[in-house]
Structure 1
Amino acid sequence: MTFCDENDIEIIKKDLRYLELLGKQYPSIASASTEIINLQAILNLPKSTEHFISDIHGEYESFTHMLKNASGVIKRKIDDIFGNSLRESEKCNLATLVYYPAEKLDLIKATEEDLADWYKITLYRLIELCRMVSSKYTRSKVRKTLPSDFAYIIEELLHEQEGINNKHEYYQGIINAIIDLDRAPEFIIAISNVIQKLVVDRLHIIGDIYDRGPGAEIIMEELIKHHSVDIQWGNHDILWMGAAAGSEACMCNVLRISLRYANLNTIEDGYGINLLPLATFAMEFYENDPCKSFTPRNIYKKISARDSALLAKMHKAIAVIQFKLEGQIIKKHAEFGMDDRLLLEKIDYEKGIVEVYGKTYTLNDKNFPTIDPKNPYKLTPQEEDLVAKLKRSFLKSEKLQRHIRFMYSKGNMYLIYNSNLLYHSCIPLNEDGSFKELAIGNKKYKGKELLDRFDSIAREAYFYKDNPKKKRFALDMMWYLWCGPNSPEFGKLKMTTFERYFIDDNLTHKETRNHYYKYRDNETIFKNILREFNLNPDTSHIINGHIPVKTKEGESPIKANGRLLVIDGGFCKAYQPETGIAGYTLIYNSYGLLLTSHEPFESIRKAIEEEKDILSSTVILEHVVSRKRVEDTDIGQEIKKQVKDLEMLLIAYRKGLLKENN
């Protein structure tokens, strides 16, 4: 241990007021010394495990299972402990029990002949597994994760010492008592939950929890219950955050995407948003319109022809309102540079044609009953009334607001954690690879400053109450973050939503990406990005998602010579035909980085009943010779500062600058 220079008393005198406050917590030489010893011991523990997941898109079953199996970490721990001493079927059975203890126990009780014997064997195995996953933590931290009903018992069993004969019968007695008192099921559930908590210390979500899949609100509830999580906002998350804050344009985009995927579970059942006004409006204005371009994609559930027809009309109705509201924002903000998206005014409504970038196209749908060709961006009175009703539903949804507040409390535009830079999409770049500047107000921003400014604006959009003008600007910026040409969340020059609906020529559907994506295999560029965020370019990594990795075409998620790791591999079912897999996840433990690719997950029911885990393949990206310790982490740096402060306190006591208070 290295103590402060005791001759540098002047520095200690300057900090004396702070040391007086610290002395209230550690009032004596003995207490300060004990804390230094404890902290030094923690610094030498192995680094805890981090779990990275990106682009979940409402796929709650796959996400729930990934969370429970920790991307295969629990199964690997079982293999490490039991090796060839257990059959593969027994390992799968034990793993499934840890993932879904209550549900699996119900099946086992119905089929197992000698339940008491099964309990005894299983309890010993679970205790052994729990002992291993808890070994990298202090007893104090493990104790905090234990359920109150079984805290003492689990702690005793975890610290059983082999070879002490007089204790063997004691531990065996505990196990027998648990079984005899019919508490084995509750104990199994409790210790399985402890294993799940301890196997991963920190969960990182690299954006896009919302849209497409049917259970974003279920995922949010799981995240709220998680013991340690952070979220880097994705463009789809920003869209929902904007809608919950009161952006009408964001709200219309949210509804349009939900209708496109025939997924109203989250909207109606999850958040209680009333879509009856939209259905009534759509039937009134689009009753005889087939709305062919707006037929929902039937990915998540089968829907009847009648329901599909209604959803198509609602889909078109909200899309037209969206284009109007977006046009109003673009006209109000010339600085957004999005005049090319003002397409409603480029339509010849009599001929049914539209001019896009100097070329004329025939519209595949010429029915626009609510658009005034002379003022195409003006809402009709009925549309204004509808938007007001829908907005009230979003603002008054208690569950949605609770989830979005959690998104703000745990989220950021980016995060620096243990020498890794986490963000969802990109850092806007110029054609030559330099940082792209964007003017916001009277100042220009780029690189890290740009993301910091957008982070601040996102919070202003939700939390501003007393300044309507600033709030409206922030709300419009939330929409810009969703689809603006220099948005670090969007990462493209334009969003061709209008063209995809109304023009058959696929060339008009193309969305050109920011130059960032051209450079994703350029190590020099990504080292520059790491330097911009004050990270060591030779040892740090950038981890993001957003653009699915086309694995079936041979694309690798490892880019820029390992400086960039892209972990969007197709979690969302809508992307899986394109990617060929069902997502990448990343594990960072004391031995290094592990990248895991996953096959499509069938269902939680099959995982429980048939023990069908997600089939995964793991690649070791980096393996250190010497295990990383807590002292090598961000938390370790904080602990070192605490140790330094306590060393100064000791000197203050020993030099008589402060008096002990025993």
Structure 2
Amino acid sequence: MNSNGKITFDEADLHYLKLLSKQYPNIAAASTEIINLQAILNLPKGTEHFISDVHGEHESFSHVLRNASGVIKRKIDDVFGNSLRESEKKSLATIIYYPEQKLEYILKEEKDIEDWYKITLYRLIQICKVVSSKYTRSKVRKALPKDFGYIIEELIHEDSDVANKQHYYNNIIETIIKLDRSNAFIISISKLIQRLAIDRLHVIGDIYDRGPGADIILDTLMDYHSLDIQWGNHDIVWMGAAAGSEACICNAIRFSARYANLHIIEESYGINLLPLATFAMEYYDDDPCTNFMPKSIAAKELPEKESRLIAMMHKAITIIQFKLEGQIIKRHPEYDMDSRLLLDKIDYERGTICLNQREYALNDRHFPTIDPANPYELTVEEKKLIDKLKSSFISSIKLQEHARFLFSKGSMYTVYNSNLLFHGCIPMDEGGNFKKIKIGGRAYSGKIFFDEAEILVRSGYFNNCVSEEKQDGMDFAWYLWCGPDSPLFGKKKMATFERYFIDDEETHIEEKNQYFYLKDDEEICNRILREFGLNPDNSHIINGHVPVKVRKGESPIKANGKLLDIDGGFSRAYQPETGIAGYTLIYNSYGLILASHEPFESTIKAIEEEKDILSTNVILEQVFVRKTVGDTDIGAELRNQIKDLTMLLTAYRNGLIKEQE
């Protein structure tokens, strides 16, 4: 504003406003947009859904996504209350979750299908009205299916109770049934309800490994309307493998063999494992490979011959892994991982190993490919094998699609609506200080370390030329998988060798980072939140990685509710320890709701017997005044847009920019 009281703009402001005027060419257009944005600020905040550590359990994951951790069931209760029996509510919920599959059963069993269609269509429209009510018509319109977009928009925005609209409303329903479009309409509106029930999905790491369907989960996520992903260590090892990291490739194959999930590599990603099978049979055919037999429910159903072959492949790739990891450790003394150089600590004649000045007997002494004089060197055959595997991983179209998606939607951490999301931990020392960790000769800690780590991992994947920078990035992806100060791993060591070859369970202990002992301290959590630019008074930390052992009395709620640990054992492998089948978190306009889930039996039972996942909900925080879009990060962006448009209006009215028709 100048001395005459007029608002003035500098050259940069005017240049920007002229660009903005192309989108809003006159006072009327700019004013209308300001009114629209101001109205959006007062809409209820969209519902966020948090999920973590799904570990390939695609059926459980799909169901939790479809039922939105109970959000849809609660909407049915809100709308119909006591006017429907519980059995009717269950049937309606199942239709919404699995419309195509459930309709097949209904058509076989229902005697008066026309009446059933009429009742079901009315009920679905009522639910759709409720879940769409917190969005603008424009946003709902963009989510509408093409085939029924206009019809659904009419039905959910018209009041069927108004006399002059009732006939119109009823006639639409009757025409849908008469034209035999009921099934298609039910499928479309059910999927729309699923879509509108959740505004944003947060996946807090570990999509891969243990369970059989990580690829199916990623295909599902690639079609999801709005999400972010925080990388877990099991994700980063597959991303490193896609980049061409040989050590990461070995770890990905080893874990898949361990849980009898080699189909994800061979069938889903089209990677040929025949060279590994041939190699394994040549060197380990006479080896029982007892400690390498696959461990999973699915493995118990495998023929003995197939289990034996997997065990041989498992051992073969594990030995190659140890060699390649040793090479990385020697390349990077800054990783401070010399204690994990174990192959040169073995007495191959006596079958023992010296660890921490103690000698342990090995339970397996068969190492046909290790040269005791140079234990970390690959044999000629191993080198040829790993070259073939590397070429296959890099050339897999689907694996590369999934890796690029994880890089596109994922990150080391996310700050969203006053919540800090990360998978594992913030590396800390005993005093609660952020640990300094070396990257490329420089030491970083806290938020800056996370930022630098992400840059390095991205360079390892996206740098197309063979270079030191690309190799460093790929090596660091492996470090994030198992390094002593990795925030994705969070333990001093990964005791892979000890678990396979030493019976003494004391050697299997993996000491956690101090973060896991300090995270119940509210002041520590406040310190972390401030480090990432958040106000501790209204913010939370949400992470996973270490399963909460509910069976032993552990709680997912830490530091007086400041931190929420939502890994409750989605993976079947963890459920005997945790006692439940995972946590999810819902953050809606009324507050935070933590849901703990019982094990999911199967999709078939969910459809045929209408068995939903049994969940227990705990209200963590409840606000007295309902939160609006204006209270969110999107609200802050909208206010900035309003500010810019207000400046444009001023420029129009002062004649600094000419209006256009």
Work out whether the TM-score is over 0.5: yes
SS at match of 1:473: helix
CA deviations over 1:88-132 (Å, ceiling 9, x no partner):
000000000000001101100111011000000000000000000
The aligned counterpart of 1:164 is: 162
Asked whether 1:181 is paired with 2:176, we answer no
The aligned counterpart of 1:212 is: 210
The question of whether the paired residues in 2 share the 8 Å contact of 1:354 and 1:362 is answered with yes
Deviating more after overlay: 652-661 vs 162-171: 162-171
Q: Distance in 1 between matches of 2:384 and 2:633?
A: 51
**CA-CA distance at 1:420 after TM superposition:** 0.3
Asked whether 1:239 is paired with 2:230, we answer no
The aligned counterpart of 1:578 is: 577
Q: Distance in 2 between matches of 1:132 and 1:297?
A: 46
Q: Distance in 2 between matches of 1:478 and 1:227?
A: 28
**CA-CA distance at 1:563 after TM superposition:** 1.1
Q: Distance in 2 between matches of 1:466 and 1:257?
A: 29
**CA-CA distance at 1:431 after TM superposition:** 1.2
Query: 1:291 pairs with 289, 292, 295, which one?
Result: 289
CA deviations over 1:323-379 (Å, ceiling 9, x no partner):
000011111111110010011000000010100111000000011100000000000
Q: Distance in 2 between matches of 1:41 and 1:230?
A: 26
Q: Distance in 2 between matches of 1:11 and 1:96?
A: 58
**CA-CA distance at 1:13 after TM superposition:** 5.8
| Counterparts in 2 of 1:345 and 1:611: CA distance versus 1, 3 Å | same
2:304 maps to amino acid: A
Matches for 1:587-626 after TM superposition, within 5 Å: 587-626=586-625
Q: Distance in 2 between matches of 1:608 and 1:162?
A: 31
2:633 maps to amino acid: D
1:24 maps to amino acid: K
2:556 maps to amino acid: P
The aligned counterpart of 2:390 is: 391
The aligned counterpart of 2:54 is: 56
Query: 1:256 pairs with 229, 254, 257, which one?
Result: 254
**CA-CA distance at 1:163 after TM superposition:** 4.1
SS at match of 1:293: helix
SS at match of 2:37: helix
The question of whether the paired residues in 2 share the 8 Å contact of 1:215 and 1:265 is answered with no
The aligned counterpart of 1:556 is: 555
CA deviations over 1:538-574 (Å, ceiling 9, x no partner):
1100100000000011100000111110000000000
Query: 1:117 pairs with 109, 115, 118, which one?
Result: 115
The question of whether the paired residues in 1 share the 8 Å contact of 2:334 and 2:441 is answered with no
SS at match of 1:595: strand
**CA-CA distance at 1:264 after TM superposition:** 1.3
Q: Distance in 1 between matches of 2:577 and 2:227?
A: 30
Q: Distance in 2 between matches of 1:243 and 1:181?
A: 52
Q: Distance in 2 between matches of 1:392 and 1:595?
A: 44
Structure 1 unaligned blocks of 5 or more: none
Deviating more after overlay: 302-311 vs 24-33: 302-311
The aligned counterpart of 1:354 is: 353
**CA-CA distance at 1:6 after TM superposition:** 11
Matches for 1:364-443 after TM superposition, within 5 Å: 364-443=363-442
2:284 maps to amino acid: Y
**CA-CA distance at 1:615 after TM superposition:** 0.4
| Counterparts in 2 of 1:285 and 1:52: CA distance versus 1, 3 Å | same
SS at match of 1:315: helix
CA deviations over 1:48-101 (Å, ceiling 9, x no partner):
000000001000000011110000110010011001000000000000000000
The question of whether the paired residues in 2 share the 8 Å contact of 1:481 and 1:488 is answered with yes
Q: Distance in 1 between matches of 2:195 and 2:75?
A: 14
Q: Distance in 1 between matches of 2:424 and 2:372?
A: 37
The aligned counterpart of 1:41 is: 39
The question of whether the paired residues in 2 share the 8 Å contact of 1:235 and 1:490 is answered with yes
Q: Distance in 2 between matches of 1:344 and 1:543?
A: 39
SS at match of 1:298: coil
Aligned residues: 660
The aligned counterpart of 1:510 is: 509
1:404 maps to amino acid: A
Q: Distance in 2 between matches of 1:616 and 1:42?
A: 33
Q: Distance in 2 between matches of 1:158 and 1:643?
A: 29
**CA-CA distance at 1:147 after TM superposition:** 0.9
The question of whether the paired residues in 1 share the 8 Å contact of 2:323 and 2:375 is answered with yes
The aligned counterpart of 2:7 is: 9
The question of whether the paired residues in 1 share the 8 Å contact of 2:79 and 2:127 is answered with yes
| Counterparts in 2 of 1:646 and 1:280: CA distance versus 1, 3 Å | same
**CA-CA distance at 1:266 after TM superposition:** 1.1
CA deviations over 1:620-660 (Å, ceiling 9, x no partner):
00000000000000000000000000000111111111111
Asked whether 1:142 is paired with 2:140, we answer yes
1:114 maps to amino acid: D
| Counterparts in 2 of 1:131 and 1:217: CA distance versus 1, 3 Å | same
Q: Distance in 2 between matches of 1:542 and 1:299?
A: 34
The aligned counterpart of 2:317 is: 318
CA deviations over 1:473-508 (Å, ceiling 9, x no partner):
111111111111111111001111000000000000
The question of whether the paired residues in 2 share the 8 Å contact of 1:32 and 1:650 is answered with yes
State the TM-score, normalized to the length of structure 1.
0.98
Structure 2 unaligned blocks of 5 or more: none
The question of whether the paired residues in 1 share the 8 Å contact of 2:160 and 2:169 is answered with no
SS at match of 2:573: helix
**CA-CA distance at 1:441 after TM superposition:** 1.7
The aligned counterpart of 2:307 is: 308
**CA-CA distance at 1:265 after TM superposition:** 2.1
The aligned counterpart of 2:473 is: 474
| Counterparts in 2 of 1:390 and 1:610: CA distance versus 1, 3 Å | same
The aligned counterpart of 1:638 is: 637
Q: Distance in 1 between matches of 2:498 and 2:19?
A: 64
Asked whether 1:278 is paired with 2:301, we answer no
1:456 maps to amino acid: I
**CA-CA distance at 1:11 after TM superposition:** 4.0
Q: Distance in 1 between matches of 2:431 and 2:298?
A: 42
**CA-CA distance at 1:12 after TM superposition:** 6.0
**CA-CA distance at 1:467 after TM superposition:** 5.1
Q: What is the RMSD computed on CA atoms of the aligned residues? A: 1.4
| Counterparts in 2 of 1:604 and 1:347: CA distance versus 1, 3 Å | same
The question of whether the paired residues in 1 share the 8 Å contact of 2:296 and 2:573 is answered with no
SS at match of 1:588: strand
**CA-CA distance at 1:28 after TM superposition:** 0.9
The question of whether the paired residues in 1 share the 8 Å contact of 2:53 and 2:567 is answered with yes
SS at match of 1:172: helix
SS at match of 1:91: helix
Q: Distance in 2 between matches of 1:352 and 1:500?
A: 16
Asked whether 1:519 is paired with 2:518, we answer yes
The aligned counterpart of 1:492 is: 491
Q: Distance in 2 between matches of 1:616 and 1:259?
A: 32
Asked whether 1:223 is paired with 2:221, we answer yes
The aligned counterpart of 1:456 is: 455
The question of whether the paired residues in 2 share the 8 Å contact of 1:492 and 1:513 is answered with yes
Q: Distance in 2 between matches of 1:443 and 1:642?
A: 39
SS at match of 1:15: helix
SS at match of 1:542: strand
The aligned counterpart of 1:501 is: 500
**CA-CA distance at 1:252 after TM superposition:** 0.3
CA deviations over 1:427-486 (Å, ceiling 9, x no partner):
100111100001212321100000001111111010001351110111111111111111
Q: Distance in 1 between matches of 2:298 and 2:522?
A: 39
Query: 2:150 pairs with 149, 152, 157, which one?
Result: 152
CA deviations over 1:199-241 (Å, ceiling 9, x no partner):
0010100000001110110000000010111110000000000
| Counterparts in 2 of 1:457 and 1:489: CA distance versus 1, 3 Å | same
The question of whether the paired residues in 2 share the 8 Å contact of 1:327 and 1:342 is answered with yes
Q: Distance in 2 between matches of 1:361 and 1:267?
A: 35
Q: Distance in 1 between matches of 2:78 and 2:134?
A: 15
The aligned counterpart of 2:23 is: 25
The question of whether the paired residues in 2 share the 8 Å contact of 1:567 and 1:585 is answered with yes
State the TM-score, normalized to the length of structure 2.
0.99
**CA-CA distance at 1:298 after TM superposition:** 3.1
The aligned counterpart of 2:189 is: 191
The aligned counterpart of 2:129 is: 131
| Counterparts in 2 of 1:7 and 1:65: CA distance versus 1, 3 Å | farther
2:438 maps to amino acid: A
SS at match of 1:194: helix
